[in-house]
Amino acid sequence: MERLRTPLMVNAVYILLIGLVTLSSRAVHSVFGYEVMDRGVLLVLSGTLLGLGVVVWGIASNPEKHGGLWASVAIADAIATVWLLVGWGRHLFTARNVLVPVIINVVLLIWIWSARPKT
């Protein structure tokens, strides 16, 4: 389980950073090049990401106790990746909005999968 600590902690930091970026429509525009149309939705997204980041941080902080939740974290990353790709496929996002987060999510998924406990 100890091998899960680092990939889960990196995942938590990544989610928290995205949550912090989404606190500001100006930061979202600067980082992602996306013009925010609904600041309320952005605020809800930010709160959700910050909350998820705290949960993943808690899991990563004690992998012996909570490491069994690694699959849930991986599934959350997979869902986020699928929705990014769906948005891109529907022309809601540009490559600038999607490619880097998808690459990061896939790398995190592979890292978590490779660090999972072997039973």
The 10s digit of each residue's pLDDT in 61-81 is: 998 888 788 889 999 999 999
Residues 93-119, mean pLDDT to the nearest whole number: 89
Residues 37-48, mean pLDDT to the nearest whole number: 93
- pLDDT at position 32 is 84
pLDDT greater at residue 36 or residue 12 = 12
CA distances from 42 to 26, 31, 98 (A): 11, 14, 17
- pLDDT at position 101 is 92
Whose CA is closest to 117, among 51, 67, 43?
A: 67
**What is the token pair recorded at 105?**
């999510």
Tell me the pLDDT band of 41, cut-offs 50, 70 and 90: very high
Q: How many CB atoms lie within 10 A of CB 81?
A: 19
Rounded to whole angstroms, the Cα distance separating 77 from 96 reads: 19
**With contact defined as beta carbons under 8 Å apart, do 25 and 36 qualify?**
yes
- Tell me which residue has tokens 């880097």: 100
Residues 22-50, mean pLDDT to the nearest whole number: 91
Rounded to whole angstroms, the Cα distance separating 77 from 109 reads: 7
pTM of full prediction above 0.85? yes
